[in-house]
Every structure is written in C-alpha cells, then in structure tokens.
C-alpha cells in the first residue's frame, strides 16, 4: 500500500488513513532522529493516533521500520530502474531529472536515505547495491552506443555518478551551511543538477560530442 502524505491528501480533499498518517510520521522521525531514537509512542503522538493503533497496524517498531523501508525502496528504485528511452535526446539530463524529482517531491525520503547510507543500515545497502546494478547497465549501454569516451573506467563511472547524487544527499546539512537557501529549493536543485550534468558530460563523454549527437 502506498503512503499518502497528509499534505498530499489534504490537497486532494481526501483524509489520509491512519496507516498513512503513522507511516508518514515514522518516516519524518526516522529522517530527523534515526530509527534507534524513534519510539512508537512518539510516532503515535506525531500522527495524532493512539499507541494501541500503531501497534495494531504494525505490531512492533521493527514492523514499522520494515513498512517504511519498503515504501522508500519503491519511491527511489522504481523511477531510477526505468530504462532511458531511445528517443530521449539526453540520457544524462533524463536521469538527473528523475533524481531531482525524488528529492523535490519526497524531501523526507531523501533525508532518511542520506541517514541510512551513513548509518550503514540494510536500507542504505539495498538502495546502493540496486542503484549500482542499474547504473552499470546504463553506463554499459552508453559505452556500447559510443556516447562515452572509449577509455572510461566503467566501474568508476558508475560509482562516481552515484557519489555525486548520494554523497550530496548524505552531506546536505554541511552543504546547506554554505548556501543561501535550502538544497531542496527549486533554484538550488536546478543549480546542482546542471553542475552534475556538466561534470559527467565533460569528464566521461566524448569531447566535442553532445549526448544528443552521440546517441
């Protein structure tokens, strides 16, 4: 069952279910405080429900963590695993837009993911490993199409492109101390995506050829 945030439900004129409220409250607490510091009682208070209702739906904190992690995996992996269409003029920008949409539409998920990657949790490992597999296939396709320089180190092309995204998410707190606005603002996300796209194109693609021409 997908999570519907209270804000999204309110915008649609729909009252979110108690399960959605609990999961959303748990996700926000996991992102802000970590799973260890989160309590079922605190989640219940934030969701505006009783502790008994939380236990009824999820039984234990482990069950609640599992439910939230399944949702996070779905939100992150589903769009990122979709192949880039052969008709897409620029695969770098297309993938970048997907990352940007996840961060802008789901800031709590981005924050929780950043914490999970640093904490070494199973969620962080699963997302990293899955994105690595997806990225390997994508960069292999780019290499076979002649989009990239022929001498690239494929494994490090995959890892470095992941670091540019996941590293930024993990170090968001430090990065924002040097910015005039929140990283999740439309202005900063646009600046970040353009910078990352430029680094990838200039460093890994054929010089003098745009991804559009190389495709």
Please give the Cα distance from 4 to 20 (Å, whole number). 6
Which residue has tokens 């998920």? 109
Asked if 28 and 47 touch (Cβ cutoff 8 Å), the reply is: no
Residue 165: the pLDDT is 95
List per-residue pLDDT tens for the chain, 215 residues long. 444 555 555 556 678 899 999 999 999 999 999 999 999 999 999 999 999 999 999 999 999 999 999 999 999 999 999 988 776 668 889 999 999 999 999 999 999 999 999 998 999 999 999 999 999 999 999 899 888 999 999 999 999 999 999 999 999 999 999 998 899 999 999 999 999 999 998 888 876 544 443 33
How far apart, in whole angstroms, are the C-alpha atoms of residue 112 and residue 98?
18
Task: Give the pTM.
Answer: 0.85
Cα 30 to chain centroid distance, Å, stands at 15
| Structural domains present in the chain | 6-59 (1.10.10.60), 72-214 (1.10.357.10)
- The pLDDT assigned to 85 comes to 78
- Structure confidence at residue 211 (pLDDT): 46
* 13: phi then psi, degrees, rounded to nearest 5: 75, 25
CB 43 within 8 A of CB 29: yes
Contact present, 16 and 5 (Cβ < 8 Å): yes
């Amino acid at each position: 069952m997908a999570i519907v945030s209270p804000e999204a439900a309110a915008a649609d004129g729909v009252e979110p279910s108690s399960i959605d409220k609990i999961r959303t409250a748990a996700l926000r607490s996991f992102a802000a405080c970590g799973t260890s510091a989160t309590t079922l009682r605190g989640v219940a208070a934030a969701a505006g429900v009783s502790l008994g209702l939380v236990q009824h739906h999820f039984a234990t904190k482990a069950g609640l963590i599992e439910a939230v992690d399944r949702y996070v995996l779905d939100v992150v992996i589903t769009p990122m695993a979709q192949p880039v269409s052969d008709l897409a003029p620029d695969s770098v920008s297309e993938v970048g837009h997907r990352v940007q949409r996840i961060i802008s539409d789901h800031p709590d998920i981005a924050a929780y993911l950043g914490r999970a990657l640093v904490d070494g949790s199973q969620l962080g490992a699963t997302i990293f490993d899955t994105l690595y597999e997806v990225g390997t296939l994508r960069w292999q396709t780019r290499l076979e199409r002649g989009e990239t320089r022929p001498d690239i180190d494929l494994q490090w092309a995959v890892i470095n492109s992941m670091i540019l995204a996941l590293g930024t998410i993990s170090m968001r707190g430090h990065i924002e101390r040097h910015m005039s606005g929140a990283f999740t603002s439309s202005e900063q996300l646009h600046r970040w995506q353009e910078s990352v796209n430029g680094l990838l194109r200039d460093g890994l693609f054929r010089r003098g050829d745009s991804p559009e021409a190389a495709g």
